[in-house]
Amino acid sequence: MIEEAIGLVRSLPAGLLAWYYLGTGPFCLGLLYFTVDMSKGAFSHEYCFSASLGMAGLFVWMKSFQSLFAVKVYEHLGQIRISQWTPRSVLRMIYIQTIIHASALIILPVAALITIPLVWTFGMVQMILVCDYRHPMRIRTQVRHCFDIGRQYTRTNHLALLILIPFGLFVFLNVGLLFFQLPYLVKMFTAFETRFTMGGFNPLNSTFLMIVSCLTYLCLDPVIKAMFILQRFYGDAMSTGLDLMAGLKAVTKKAAGPVILGSLILTGLAVGSSQPARASGSVPTPVYAEPAGENRIDAGDLDRQVKRVMAQREYQWRMPIPEKETEATNWVISFFKWLKPYVKAVVEAVDNFFEAIWKFIRRLMPRMKEPVNIKPDPPETGTPKYLFYGIMGISILVVVLVFILYRRKKSRLTPPEAEPEPVAVDVSDEEITPQALPHDQWMTLARELMAEKKYRLAIRAMYLGTLAGLSARHLLDTAFHKSNRDYELELIRRAHEHPELVSAFGQTVRFFDRVWYGGYPVAEQDAVVFENQQKGILDAVG
């Protein structure tokens, strides 16, 4: 089935595949932008709701075009037309696909947890893309019909799943290696340096993995769609004969020219040969008499005679062996029958284990000599054995509870680790980074330096405190190798919706560079203004 699906995708016209990628491409691009923006944008929470609505709209767009693609592939297979795209049929398509695939986002994970109905549910979601939208329909009827077809291909779909999962991982690795090596190939053949070849990049970052995942989906999903469209087509053909009609149409188209030419030749020969015979009158026209009414054979009697003869012993060996319906319908009973000997073997093994322990303990016990006149003991019952089992189980439970209580008590008695005392930092050290102290301690240190008239060091302490504060608000990622210009560009990229914040930080960077690197003299008033400016920057982001 997978080979047939791949062959079908390769034989499709480019126009049909264009319908699929016209719907799926925008969704993949939107999903890529959405995940990157929501994971790295500092103010993404402010427009998360509207962006989610946009993604929902793109999802409906994708499923609608995938349904259009599936219908056209179905028509291509059957050489028929089941679609007539009017505003009403388009709205009907959007309504049905939105309900089914929005529910599938919840139903498929639940089916995956249960495991058994996952293949049937996934097949139903794919096969229901093919619908006749020209007439109103009940969604329940379509779902039941797709489930019935999916149960006919249970084994095929499970085997296909076992093949497609490793194949999908293989495609994912191929696409990932291609994108990882592409910048280096460009550099090798064109000597063109890119940011990836100069600084390198991490192939395990979320953006790279998302791009590779989307491209893998675009490569593999048409094959999966084609496989389930074929199953829907063959399932419908069992009752409608669509596959036979399509084959006859294909044969008719191929043989139409030779048949017409042969018919014309035969007609000409027949007309030419009949002229002399008609002139001479030597060939009489045959007249066939109708059979008498009493000699006619009734069709019902003929069928009964055929069935009676075919039921005889000498013809039974030619008939196919009938399938046992009980095995097909009562698969649950067959499963438990298969499982019964294994469960029985496990229970017997456990029972034999405890029986051996019981016999070993009884052999260790000393036996008293029995008096002569005492009546013999009654036959031993299973009560002591099961009592021993119960006592043993309770003992194990008590040991486990004691161990748990001991661990809890030990964790309570363990003293908490003392918080490390703040380490004194040298503000004049060029190796120091903003991660050395939190924002509050940087500002406290700056005030102490201002009290000591060390305004230049106070300016640097306040600047490092601002970087630490912006890093705590996820607007900057501080690192030793980054320059002030790198911080400014990073803030422009992450806080582009707050231009006043970007402008204030740019003024801070320029003033700090003049003071720290340019030797600009700093007075007390300059330090106070700079401190107020840093408070305004952090107050602007909350």
For residue range 321-350, what is the model confidence (pLDDT) as tens digits? 555 444 444 566 777 778 788 878 877 887
3-state secondary structure of 428: coil
Q: Is residue 529 pLDDT above 80, yes or no?
A: yes
Q: What is the C-alpha separation between 226 and 2, in angstroms, rounded?
A: 9
**Contacts of residue 209, Cβ cutoff 8 Å, sequence gap at least 6:** 176
- pLDDT score at 215: 92
- For residue 12, name the pLDDT band (cuts at 50, 70, 90): confident
Q: What is the pTM of this model?
A: 0.47
What confidence tens digit (pLDDT) does each residue in 103-154 have? 888 888 888 877 777 888 888 888 888 887 777 778 888 888 888 888 888 8
What whole-number percentage of the chain has pLDDT above 70?
77
- pLDDT score at 58: 92
Q: What is the C-alpha separation between 182 and 189, in angstroms, rounded?
A: 11
- pLDDT score at 239: 75
- pLDDT score at 384: 52
Of residues 326 and 66, which shows the higher confidence score? 66
Reading the block at residue 178, the tokens are 């291609």
Mean of per-residue pLDDT scores for the chain: 76
Alpha helix positions (H), 365-498: 383-413, 439-451, 455-472, 484-494
C-alpha separations of 167 from 118, 140, 221, 527 in Å:
19, 34, 12, 64
3-state secondary structure of 249: helix
**Candidate ranges 21-35, 175-189, 248-262; pick with highest mean pLDDT:** 21-35
**How many CB atoms within 10 Å of residue 69?**
26
- pLDDT score at 27: 92
- pLDDT score at 379: 46
3-state secondary structure of 105: helix
Residue pair 374/409 in contact by the 8 Å Cβ criterion: no
What confidence tens digit (pLDDT) does each residue in 69-96 have? 888 888 888 777 777 778 888 888 888 8
Reading the block at residue 212, the tokens are 């590779």
Mean of pLDDT values over 372-383:
46
Mean of pLDDT values over 348-354:
79
**Candidate ranges 65-74, 182-191, 338-347, 373-382; pick with highest mean pLDDT:** 65-74
- For residue 317, name the pLDDT band (cuts at 50, 70, 90): low
Q: Is residue 49 pLDDT above 80, yes or no?
A: yes
Q: What is the C-alpha separation between 406 and 386, in angstroms, rounded?
A: 30
What phi and psi values does residue 262 have, to the nearest 5 degrees?
Answer: -65, -40
- pLDDT score at 332: 60
Q: Is residue 357 pLDDT above 60, yes or no?
A: yes
Give just the sign of the alpha carbon dihedral 78, 83, 84, 85.
Answer: negative
Q: How would DSSP label each residue in 161-205?
A: HHHHHHHHHHHHHHHHHHHHHHHHHHHHHH----HHHHH---TTS
Mean of pLDDT values over 456-470:
86
**Candidate ranges 211-225, 240-254, 290-304; pick with highest mean pLDDT:** 211-225
Q: What is the C-alpha separation between 368 and 352, in angstroms, rounded?
A: 27
- For residue 320, name the pLDDT band (cuts at 50, 70, 90): low
What whole-number percentage of the chain has pLDDT above 90?
3
Q: Which pairs with CB-CB distance under 8 Å and at least 24 residues apart come from 507-512?
A: 507/533, 508/463, 508/466, 508/533, 508/534, 508/537, 509/484, 509/485, 511/459, 512/459, 512/460, 512/463, 512/484
Q: Is residue 293 pLDDT above 60, yes or no?
A: no
Give just the sign of the alpha carbon dihedral 371, 372, 378, 382.
Answer: positive
Reading the block at residue 281, the tokens are 């009158």
C-alpha separations of 251 from 18, 246, 361, 439, 524 in Å:
28, 9, 84, 81, 96
C-alpha separations of 100 from 86, 94, 117, 213 in Å:
21, 10, 16, 24
